[in-house]
Amino acid sequence: MISLEKIMTKDVVTISRTTELYDAIRMMVDGNITGLPVVDDENTLEGIVTEKDVMRFLLNTHTTQGTVEDCMIADVTSFNVGDSLEDVICALVEKGFRRVPIVSEGKLEGIVSRRDVIAYIFSCELKDRGKLVGMVAGKVFD
């Protein structure tokens, strides 16, 4: 089984629920980031705020005044470090997520994005040109 630690982005930009929404938008634009995990002072995952969440908030309120808490998703789907890559890929594909947080005992450890998965598959393809062996759940991809 492929460890999520091999694939995930570990140096994740995070935000707090009390951050001003305008500052969150600036962080996304400046960092070319499409979503920010929301964490508390102990790095416990509290939710996520994405471009889509911000746009929905703007459509409903017509203002950037407020905090991240006003538009974040608190009931976020996350995975534990020991979970399978196949489960993560299913969430990314079937639920339409762009990224999922990876936690250990509730603490944010990283994020796995669609791009992370594709980049990993590409790097494996370069190593074993023509055949990806054991990528997901022991399956072979030709």
Percent with pLDDT over 90 in the chain: 78
Please indicate, yes or no, if residue 111 is contained in any of the structural domains: yes
Beta-ladder partners of 141: 132
Query: Could you give the number of structural domains in the chain?
Result: 1
Please indicate, yes or no, if residue 142 is contained in any of the structural domains: no
How many C-beta atoms lie closer than 10 Å to residue 87's C-beta? 15
* Enclosing domain of residue 112: 4-137
Q: What is the CATH number of the domain that holds 87?
A: 3.10.580.10
pLDDT tens for each residue of 91-134: 999 999 999 999 999 999 999 999 999 998 888 766 665 555 55
Please indicate, yes or no, if residue 108 is contained in any of the structural domains: yes
Q: Which residues of 108-118 are buried (b: 16+ CB within 10 A; e: fewer)?
A: bbbbbbeebbe
Please indicate, yes or no, if residue 117 is contained in any of the structural domains: yes
For 57, list phi and psi in degrees, rounded to 5: -60, -45
Query: Is the pLDDT reported for residue 141 higher than 50?
Result: no
Task: Give the whole-angstrom CA distance, residue 8 versus residue 6.
Answer: 6
Predicted TM-score (pTM) of this structure = 0.85
Percent with pLDDT over 70 in the chain: 87
| pLDDT of amino acid 16 | 98
